[in-house]
Amino acid sequence: MKAIVVSAPGGPEVLQLQEVEDPEFKDDEVLIKVEATALNRADILQRKGLYPPPPGSSPYLGLECSGTVVAVGKHVSRWQVGDTVCALLTGGGYAEKVAVPAGQVLPAPPGVSLKDAASFPEVSCTVWSTVFMMSRLSAGETFLVHGGSSGIGTFAIQIAKYLGAKVFITAGSEEKLVFCKDLGADVCINYKTEDFVARVKEETGGKGVDVILDIIGANYFRRNLDSLSFDGRLFVIATMGGAVTELDLRVVLSKRLTIQAAGLRYRSPENKAAIVREVESNVWPAIASGKVKPVVYKYFPLYEAAEAHRLMESSKHIGKILLVP
């Protein structure tokens, strides 16, 4: 099969389309012929040599895909050859075929093209596990997501609104703010021209928000704590603005705050399967009803993976960027 290979750690130019061996699949795995895969910031880190794949996983980039099942392991009962699916991967999406544990596979959501289904696994599993399973965002609460125009952000806006939350976002251009507003965000803040803490306080009568989903890390840490209400929950899923910061525990104590952080990739297959089951039960009905839609900015052929990475690193996109073998 063909796959994108990282020839050496470096810039987008190190991504090269090569002929490689088909993946072997285990008794509890399915083999998927890839219809599309989607870019994630983690792919850029892995390309640079900063985010190695977990031991035993595919050496190739790609944390999600959609496609058709072409083979199943002997312990797999739910999936059959010919099923159209999408899947949460530990790696290997930038290829024509990928092997994945059966528990990380989802049926292609109804009403969405098989290609666009590739835009959902990583964002839905990330947002559902962090914002809902662990931070317990519920109807009537307030929710701030940084990077509102990102793949994570555009999905988080839609699912939080669907479940009855008031949604705040930050983004860096008027075009992105308008897009987020059209998706359903209630309060859209330009982080380049406004102080998001002041705006959050103003919009909540001085209380702050209940839950924050953060991709920035250190640079926003203190301001995130200042933006939370009593019993507020901060969840950090990336450190684009630095990983090391100071914490004044008195702020946490006085406001009874909860601070959590997690990624998806290094979780156990059992943990990922539990998240995937929750996503199918809770998110897939929202997609089927048209309340949550795929947000795809651009499609690239697989051999143009370097161009796709350049676009992601420019941050000019809104939503997801897809690669199609």
pLDDT tens-digit profile of 265-280?
A: 999 999 999 999 999 9
**6-49 confidence digits (pLDDT tens):** 999 999 999 999 999 999 999 999 999 999 999 999 999 999 99
Please tell me whether residues 197 and 283 are part of one structural domain: no
**154-165 confidence digits (pLDDT tens):** 999 999 999 999
Q: Mean of the per-residue pLDDT values for the chain? A: 98
Please tell me whether residues 7 and 47 are part of one structural domain: yes
> How many domains does one find in the chain?
2
Task: State residue 182's pLDDT score.
Answer: 98
Does any domain span residue 145?
yes
Please tell me whether residues 250 and 171 are part of one structural domain: yes
Whichever domain contains 153, its CATH number is 3.40.50.720
Per-residue three-class SS string for the chain: CEEEEECCCCCHHHEEEEECCCCCCCCCEEEEEEEEEECCHHHHHHHCCCCCCCCCCCCCCCCEEEEEEEEECCCCCCCCCCCEEEEECCCCCCECEEEEEHHHEEECCCCCCCCHHHHCHHHHHHHHHHHHHHCCCCCCCEEEEECCCEHHHHHHHHHHHHCCCEEEEEECCHHHHHHHHHHCCCEEEECCCCCHHHHHHHHCCCCCEEEEEECCCHHHHHHHHHHEEEEEEEEECCCCCCCCCCCCHHHHHHHCCEEEECCCCCCCHHHHHHHHHHHHHHCHHHHHCCCCCCCEEEEEEHHHHHHHHHHHHHCCCCEEEEEEC
Phi, psi (rounded to 5 degrees) for 194: -130, 155
Mean pLDDT, rounded, for 173-199: 98
Task: State residue 176's pLDDT score.
Answer: 98
Does any domain span residue 124?
no
Does any domain span residue 240?
yes
Please tell me whether residues 152 and 166 are part of one structural domain: yes
Please tell me whether residues 139 and 252 are part of one structural domain: yes
Please tell me whether residues 144 and 252 are part of one structural domain: yes
**225-280 confidence digits (pLDDT tens):** 999 999 999 999 999 999 999 999 999 999 999 999 999 999 999 999 999 999 99
Please tell me whether residues 144 and 254 are part of one structural domain: yes
Nearest Cα neighbor of 190 from 99, 207, 179 is 179
314 CB neighbour count, 10 Å cutoff: 8
Task: State residue 265's pLDDT score.
Answer: 95
The residue range of the domain holding 217 is 135-261
The two tokens of residue 156 are 């988080």
**102-122 confidence digits (pLDDT tens):** 999 999 999 999 999 999 999
**Could you tell me if 258 and 233 are in contact, meaning their C-beta atoms sit under 8 angstroms apart?**
yes
Does any domain span residue 130?
no
**74-98 confidence digits (pLDDT tens):** 999 999 999 999 999 999 999 999 9
Task: State residue 63's pLDDT score.
Answer: 98
